[in-house]
Amino acid sequence: MAISRVGAVAVPVNPAYTPSEIRNVLAAADLSLLVFDSELAGATDATAGNPKVFALPQTPSLPPGPHGWTPPYEEDSELPAAIYFSSGSTGQPKGIVHSNRNLRRVAELVGRTWDYRPDDILLIRMPLAFADAAIVGW
């Protein structure tokens, strides 16, 4: 959400990737800022374009409850919001660009289909680098 708030594009990386796979994703993403868990430091040494780097000292968390977050863009914006990488089943993982509109619409439709309520709590057992976990859990 913070990445979206500043109008940037998120590129979540699967933490189960090998260091080589992480390097390939980082090189393809052409980053200007890299924020990562300090445990993955060894996999971030070959990023393309010399992005600014910020290592999180520990896994951050937010206090429970509403946070009053609103997107900084119009709901129907076609601007890129996130790039999720494919599984790479036919070669290297490929970046798939999702717009703000796309992510919002998918989340709304899933919420209606599964009858989510504002006070529902979801247990997301997949890494948020997977589009399904990030969008459905949004």
How many whole angstroms separate alpha carbon 86 and alpha carbon 119? Answer: 32
The CB density around residue 2, as the number of other CB atoms within 10 Å, is 10
pLDDT digits (tens, 9 = 90+) for 66-87: 666 565 556 558 888 889 888 7
Element containing residue 33 per DSSP (H, E): strand 33-37
pLDDT digits (tens, 9 = 90+) for 22-59: 888 888 887 888 877 766 656 555 555 667 776 766 66
Q: Confidence band (pLDDT; 50, 70, 90) for 115?
A: very high
pTM comes to 0.73
